[in-house]
Amino acid sequence: MAYFECIHLGKTYKTPQGDAVIVEDFNLKIEQGEFVCIIGHSGCGKSTVLSMVAGLNEISQGTVVLGEREINGAGPDRGVVFQAPCLLPWMTAYENVMLGVDQVYYHATKEERRQVATYYLAMVGLAGSMHKHPGELSGGMRQRVGLARAFALSPKMLLLDEPFGMLDKLTKFDLQQVLLDLWNRERLTAMMVTHDVDEAIYLADRIVMMTNGPAAGIGDILSIKFERPRDRAEIMDTSQFYDYRDYLIDFLENRAASAALEVA
């Protein structure tokens, strides 16, 4: 059995117009230490899948298995980073990270916990600003805190939902680098939703392409064979990169709408 697995995962909302099937029969296996990106058109159900895995959205059909156990509700064994950093504005960056660290390392001493939080904040480049409140931080810095908070949990799995979607291009590049550096050290199993094709190729081992909703599922999966650690400039110099890119864009433009039928 795979480290992580979605088995016949589905989501149905009850609406006044009857049942709305958003996601149906979503099957995906992820090996330990693998980085998987999910791409798909806006509104197809990517966030829905991710939030079900996170335990923040109820699962309608099927199951999710993580580390040989079926997930049941949310928990700190999954580190979640959303598009908005969701920091608590009344706490400093450090306190925001500490909130999770206290929860996971409740058996450790205060000093050990402090070290964990400080280490991850330093790793994301916030050593100098960790005692600032989110209101005093830029959007990019806030998302760094979000990454530190997720990694500091030492989770079984990392779940990211378009974490850099609201950032400008330069900041986004920096944060992709921060994420990749952290990930290279810890090799956490990761599932990341994005609609940025370049980002997906740069970060992922495999890219899952979702078909358009309603009743969205997996249309195709592409393995990215670049070696790690990766260098953005180097990768973008290869023709392979553009082949991947063309393949993904072709899926989104031509196949996403009909792939569901194709699979069926």
Ligand X SMILES: Nc1ncnc2c1ncn2[C@@H]1O[C@H](COP(=O)(O)OP(=O)(O)O)[C@@H](O)[C@H]1O
Q: Which stretch binds ligand X (CB under 6 A): 35-43, 115-123, 132-140, 221-229?
A: 35-43
19 binds, among ligand X, Mg ion, another protein, none (CB under 5 to 8 A by kind): none
- Answer for which of 39, 47, 118, 241 binds Mg ion (CB under 5 A) is 47
20 contact, one of ligand X, another protein, Mg ion, none, CB 5-8 Å limit per kind: ligand X
47 or 143, CB closer to Mg ion? Answer: 47
Which helix (DSSP H) or strand (DSSP E) does residue 142 occupy?
helix 139-152
**Which of 124, 75, 73 has its CA nearest to residue 97?**
124
Smaller CB separation from ligand X, 42 or 109: 42
Site for another protein in 184-213 (CB under 8 A): none
Q: Which is nearer to Mg ion, 47 or 212 (CB)?
A: 47
In the complex, the smallest distance separating the C-beta of residue 228 from ligand X, rounded to whole angstroms, is 27
Of the pair 92, 211, the CB lying nearest another protein is at 92
Q: Which residue has the tokens 């450790």?
A: 108
Cα three-residue angle 138-140-142, rounded to 5 degrees: 70
Query: Which residue's CB atom is positioned nearest to ligand X?
Result: 47
CB 174 to another protein: min, Å: 5
- Report the partner that residue 29 touches, choosing among Mg ion, another protein, ligand X, none (CB closer than 5 to 8 A by kind): none
Q: How far is CA 239 from CA 40, 199, 201, 226, in A?
A: 23, 16, 13, 12
End-to-end CA distance of the chain: 25
Q: Which is nearer to Mg ion, 24 or 161 (CB)?
A: 161
How many whole angstroms separate alpha carbon 148 and alpha carbon 77? 15
- For 141-164, give one letter per residue: b (16+ CB within 10 A) or e: bbbbbbbbbbbbbbbbbbbbbbbb
Does residue 48 touch Mg ion according to CB under 5 A? no
Give the C-alpha separation, 251 to 219, whole Å: 8
Q: Omega of the bond prior to 229 within 30 degrees of 0, cis?
A: yes
Binding region for ligand X (CB under 6 A): 13, 15, 20, 22, 40, 42-48, 213
